Amino acid sequence: MKNIYIKTWGCQMNEYDSSMIAKNLESTGQYLITEKYEQADVLILNTCSIREKAQEKLFHQLGRWKKLKDKNPNIIIAVGGCVATQEGKEIFKRSRYVDIIFGTQSLHKLPKMINEVEKNKKFVIDISFPKLDKFNSFLPIKNTGYTASISIMEGCNKYCSFCVVPYTRGKEISRPSDDVLFEIATLAENGIKEINLLGQNVNAYEGPTFDGKICFFSELLRLIAEIDGIERIRFTTSNPIEFSDDIIEVYKDTPKLVSFLHLPVQSGSNKVLELMKRSYTTEEYEKIIEKLIKARSNIQISSDFIVGFPGESKKDFQQTINFIKKINFDMSYSFIYSSRPGTPASEMKDEIDLQEKKERLYVLQDCISKQTMSWSRKMLGSQQYILVEGKAKKNPTQLYGKTENNRIVNFYGPQKTIGQFVQVKINEVHTHILNGTLL
């Protein structure tokens, strides 16, 4: 038995991919997953290329692992994920002690690739896009928690000017609906109560069915809601372009779908949205939100924002702040724009000073933080339906769970409620964490 250590950077899709890597390797009976990299026979780095200086971060990590390999030349180092797909052999040229480079769609081949390195002592690379082959190696697993994420589709066809995802994950392709439903049903049998559907654009899902038809995202949501044991459904991430009326209708008749939606807008300026090639306007985005509120009056919205995009003027930034206040976003993921090699935006002239970008980011995050706290205050004295996930991190005598709108609630209660949905009255609020009393 060999020890495998997996280090994961990036989004929930990468976390899901790493779980698939672990499942596939353990299923061979040859490997054990370890949380201590010093004990590993195989070191696997699953990378993300979204953030700035992703490549440099990769080589710094590889440099640390090189010290282990200098002491033990038999250690195998494998690099996968988005940076691996983007850089390919360039990684090996710069770090010739790397043994394996695998892509986002070829991770299921890793057991075979490891065996090949052990046998031939030669560098192996596979960054091909064999559609959905990696999902064909799905193995049912027993979960120790009560929430789980599953990927329902891969890739992106939108080609926003700032984004590398279409180049690292490929074109949009949806998993067959029966495969998705089978995986979720298996998770439910193993105690999972809450499911989170993953994809670069989940609302673009068009999964083939067993009878040759197409299952659209709205239909998939309703089918998942019928699975015994699944009590709460989330999804991320959506694109406003394809957030169609049939999806909005699901909020009217499917209470298991949470009253919380992450819908990235990126900017509140139509000029900047056009430069980003987002293919919608702030007015169109606002209409979607209006329809959602009509369908589910208590829904809360979170979003993504890029600050300091090339061409963003002070006026454009102020329009974004005004838009944030108008929509009254609950939360956001916000970042200073960073150029990604190979994207159209990387060719744009960036004349915004870094200090100006930092100041804009501070203003935006401060605005969102105040709105988050305002939403939390509205919960004071309310009764919240939460899934109890375990012992509170800071006080193990307490339990914790999450509300539909992603607040952590700490409270005192019996251990037997872990894994159950309970009603808690909120008696103290902070920005993201609440305290309550079990009812």
For residue range 268-327, list pLDDT tens digits in order.
Answer: 999 999 999 999 999 999 999 999 999 999 999 999 999 999 999 999 999 999 999 999
For residue 122, count other CB atoms closer than 10 A to its CB.
8
| pLDDT at res. 128 | 83
Residue 83 CB contacts under 8 Å (≥ 6 apart), including other chains: 47, 48, 49, 54, 55, 58, 91, 168
pLDDT higher than 60, residue 429: yes
Going by pLDDT thresholds of 50, 70 and 90, the confidence category of residue 139 is low
Nearest alpha carbon to residue 206 among 234, 180, 232: 180
Computed over every residue of the chain, the mean pLDDT equals 92
Instruction: Measure Cα distances from 282 to 271, 279, 326, 339, 365 in Å.
Output: 10, 10, 11, 24, 19
Residue 215 marked as a ligand binder: no
% of the chain beyond a pLDDT of 90: 77
Burial of residue 297 (CB within 10 Å: 0-12, 13-18, 19+) is exposed
pLDDT higher than 60, residue 74: yes
| pLDDT at res. 140 | 52
Amino acid at 393: K
Given its phi and psi angles, is residue 409 left (phi above 0), alpha (psi -120 to 50 degrees) or beta? beta
Mean pLDDT, range 141-162, rounded to an integer: 85
pLDDT higher than 80, residue 138: no
Going by pLDDT thresholds of 50, 70 and 90, the confidence category of residue 51 is low
Cα distance between the two ends of the chain: 49
| pLDDT at res. 52 | 64
Q: Which tokens in the block code for residue 28? A: 């061979």
pLDDT higher than 70, residue 173: yes
pLDDT higher than 90, residue 20: no
pLDDT higher than 80, residue 134: no
Residues 93, 97, 101, CA angle at the centre, nearest 5°?
70
pLDDT higher than 70, residue 410: yes
For residue range 6-16, list pLDDT tens digits in order.
Answer: 999 987 888 88
Bigger pLDDT: 343 vs 132:
343
Beta-sheet pairing, 173-174 with 153-154: antiparallel
* Strand order through the sheet with 100-102: 31-33, 2-8, 42-47, 76-81, 100-102, 124-126
Bigger pLDDT: 185 vs 140:
185
Of 55-59, 175-179, 379-383, 412-416, where does mean pLDDT reach its minimum? 55-59
Going by pLDDT thresholds of 50, 70 and 90, the confidence category of residue 85 is confident
Mean pLDDT, range 371-397, rounded to an integer: 95
Q: What domains are there in the chain, each with its CATH number?
A: 2-126 (3.40.50.12160), 133-378 (3.80.30.20), 380-438 (2.40.50.140)
| pLDDT at res. 144 | 59
Residues 345, 204, 270, CA angle at the centre, nearest 5°?
40
Q: Cα–Cα distance between 251 and 293 in angstroms, integer? A: 9
Residue 306 CB contacts under 8 Å (≥ 6 apart), including other chains: 162, 266, 267, 276, 334, 335, 336, 337
| pLDDT at res. 136 | 67
| pLDDT at res. 54 | 73
| pLDDT at res. 338 | 87
pLDDT higher than 70, residue 130: no
Mean pLDDT, range 133-161, rounded to an integer: 78
Q: How far is CA 422 from its chain centroid? A: 27
